[in-house]
Structure 1
Amino acid sequence: MMMVLMFMFLMIPLSFLSISWLMSQFCYLFLYVLIMMKSFNTFFCSISYYFGLDNFSYNLVLLGFLISSYMIVSMQYSFSMKLYTSINLILSLFLFVIFSSLNFFYMYMSFEFVLVPLVILVLGWGYQPERLMAGLYLFFYTVLVSLPLLVLILQIYKENGAMFFDYMSYSSNFFLIHFIMVFVFMVKLPMFLVHFWLPKAHVQAPVAGSMILAGLMLKIGGYGLIRVMYMYEYMYMEYSYIWYSVSLMGSLLIGMICLMQGDIKCLIAYSSVTHMGMVIMGLMTMSSWGLMGSYLLMLGHGFCSSGMFYMANMFYLRTGSRSFYINKGLLIYIPSCSMIWFIMCSFNMSCPPSINFLSEVMILSSMLGYWVNSMVFFIGISFLCACFSYYLYSYSQHGLHHNLYSFSSMNLVELLCLFMHLIPLLFYSIIIMSLI
């Protein structure tokens, strides 16, 4: 693991060379192959200097390298490419430390530091002046809820003498301790009622910022919940009904809010809140199927939502607007990407045989074991997900375009990036179906 960290760290100054985007792509390709060669099923696998991989972190690390590579492709014609490449490498370095650290303090420090390059990305390459407010929302939401966690980590270290995930334990059933430990990850997911930073950050961020936010930043919250759940399972069993209830109602309400959106990026951002609410519900059931369903939904949502934001940016570059009232008749305007947009929307509404469908079946079974009446709410959430995904496709692709000009050609790089979003989705779906 240390060789991966040192390799990424030493690549940061090299990113200021004239062919920085090409070097960074080779860097991510090499790191992806390097991680793929390491098995996570062997005892003491890849453990070195408090870093290692297991079943949960392995796929998230691979997802991080892939999304970072897609970010370079999506912004290769932007200004200050050398600076952007270096920020992208720093962001990937911190994300790798989060997903591979065996020490809670290392994970917390990277959890905080990853905010700095992300805010620079939003403020430096954003679109409108409102990006300043979006950066403040993103910064203060994360910092204010994570500072109490630092005090709690130091208190646990004082009592246990270790901050490794395997050695940390806390016997108290005090709700405030559970709240501090869990709430910071709920904000990052985000959970309903603390989700206001997400639509603002998505709308004002560049396409690369939206891709990394949807693809990886939301997954940090789920990954942190999984790690904490293994350490403090008795606290989870006592207080999980609180987070379960909020997420159950929140996913239903956010599904209704999605149908009122006039901005494509806003709708995709709010749909992420709905799916992350289902992740919380699966984790709070404390069952193996709920845990696996939430984990698979995070992986599927990472590729699907990132691809949808990339396509929304393609429409924005051609029409000059993200509004549904302008982006009409794209089936005539850009017919070459209509099929890919349909597949993305289908995966977003969890149509079989997608990985999203398999994960939602697992989450549903765990919810029924937790509370039988959850079936009623789940039917409503699934129906609303299908409604706003269908609305997203039909309203943008059909109708009369405003200038009746057909622009069929797409950039080869854009098609490549879209197919690289689809291939892992299909690959994971085939693997999971063969295992089941």
Structure 2
Amino acid sequence: AILLKLGGYGIMRITMLLSPMTPKLYYPFMILALWGIVMTSSVCLRQTDLKSLIAYSSVSHMGLVITACLIQTPWSFTGAMMLMIAHGLTSSMLFCLANTNYERTHTRTMIIARGFQLILPLMSTWWLLANLTNMALPPSINLMGELLIIVSLFNWSNLTILLTGLGTLITAMYSLNMFLTTQRNKLPTNIRLTHPTHTREHLLMMLHLAPLVLIIMKPALISGLINC
């Protein structure tokens, strides 16, 4: 997640220094990035490995960042910065939650590690909140970042709403599938007895979720970086 966001930041820094590209130059990259959002989101629907699913979801969100950097407008750059910070926290939170499951089951396969709501109800709440932020639901900063990028794309070309809308729909599908598969199914016999959750795990989740919700109260903390 960190390397992806550093790559996106590098693209932003370089495109700011360059003059706007001609349409013949950025059309292929724009189509590739938009189609990549749909394809990587579709790959997430077929994943059975929990950590692979989270990793592919990070790649899917970076498609929006690339399109925003190619448009080179103030709104798109601001949305790209917001989305990189927001999804950096979201994907890190999801990886932490996946690790808590792995520590108790020693497997990353979602079909085997399921039904945790019955034995770890509070951790299931964290899973729900993390998946809601991954879907960019309010009041997370993910929503503002994606809205700025999607509005910028729509102003650039009305046809982009088809691929971005489809990508957003598939993102909601695999996020809900990940939550329902790991938390709501029947508990397997091999994990009847497991360790309870620790305070450090809940503190770690809180440190991830708090910035996602609190930054929305003052988004200039992030958007102001573009205007410096």
TM-score (structure 1 length as normaliser) = 0.49
Residue of 351, 373, 378 corresponding to 2:137: 351
Which digits, 9 at most, give the CA deviation of each residue in 1:72-101, with x for residues without a partner? xxxxxxxxxxxxxxxxxxxxxxxxxxxxxx
**Counterpart residue number, 1:405:** 192
**What aligned pairs does 1:274-289 form with structure 2 within 5 A after superposition?**
274-289=60-75
Distance 2:59 2:222 in 1: 29
2:82–2:222 CA contact under 8 A, matched in 1: no
**Counterpart residue number, 2:97:** 311
Question: 1:233 Cα deviation (Å)?
Answer: 2.1
Distance 1:302 1:249 in 2: 22
**Counterpart residue number, 2:88:** 302
User: Which amino acid letter does the alignment assign opposite residue 274 of structure 1?
Assistant: S
**Counterpart residue number, 1:380:** 166
Distance 1:391 1:307 in 2: 17
**Counterpart residue number, 1:416:** 203
User: Which amino acid letter does the alignment assign opposite residue 203 of structure 2?
Assistant: L
Distance 2:118 2:195 in 1: 8
Which digits, 9 at most, give the CA deviation of each residue in 1:239-280, with x for residues without a partner? 222211101111111111111000000110111111000111
**Counterpart residue number, 1:326:** 112
CA RMSD for the aligned pairs?
2.0
**Counterpart residue number, 1:56:** none
The DSSP-based 3-state class of the residue aligned with 2:112 is: coil
2:142–2:212 CA contact under 8 A, matched in 1: no
**What aligned pairs does 1:12-411 form with structure 2 within 5 A after superposition?**
214=1, 216-235=2-21, 239-403=25-189, 405=192, 407=194, 409-411=196-198
**Counterpart residue number, 1:430:** 217
Distance 1:412 1:369 in 2: 47
1:229–1:236 CA contact under 8 A, matched in 2: no
395-404 or 358-367, which deviates more? 395-404
Question: 1:285 Cα deviation (Å)?
Answer: 1.3
1:250–1:277 CA contact under 8 A, matched in 2: yes
User: Which amino acid letter does the alignment assign opposite residue 382 of structure 1?
Assistant: T
The DSSP-based 3-state class of the residue aligned with 1:342 is: helix
Question: 1:433 Cα deviation (Å)?
Answer: 9.1
Distance 2:102 2:86 in 1: 24
Distance 1:238 1:227 in 2: 22
The DSSP-based 3-state class of the residue aligned with 2:219 is: helix
Distance 1:354 1:222 in 2: 21
Distance 2:184 2:88 in 1: 27
Which digits, 9 at most, give the CA deviation of each residue in 1:100-150, with x for residues without a partner? xxxxxxxxxxxxxxxxxxxxxxxxxxxxxxxxxxxxxxxxxxxxxxxxxxx
Consecutive aligned runs of 4 or more in structure 1 exceeding 4 Å deviation = 433-436
The DSSP-based 3-state class of the residue aligned with 2:218 is: helix
Give the structure with higher Rg (CA): 1
1:296–1:355 CA contact under 8 A, matched in 2: yes
Q: Structure 2: any 5+ residue segments left out of the alignment?
A: 224-228
Question: 1:413 Cα deviation (Å)?
Answer: 1.3
The DSSP-based 3-state class of the residue aligned with 1:327 is: coil
Distance 1:365 1:357 in 2: 12
2:82–2:142 CA contact under 8 A, matched in 1: yes
Distance 1:346 1:433 in 2: 23
Paired residues in the alignment total 222
Which digits, 9 at most, give the CA deviation of each residue in 1:25-77, with x for residues without a partner? xxxxxxxxxxxxxxxxxxxxxxxxxxxxxxxxxxxxxxxxxxxxxxxxxxxxx
Distance 2:71 2:140 in 1: 23
Alpha-carbon spacing, 1:220–1:433, altered in 2? closer, same or farther (3 Å):
closer
TM-score (structure 2 length as normaliser) = 0.91
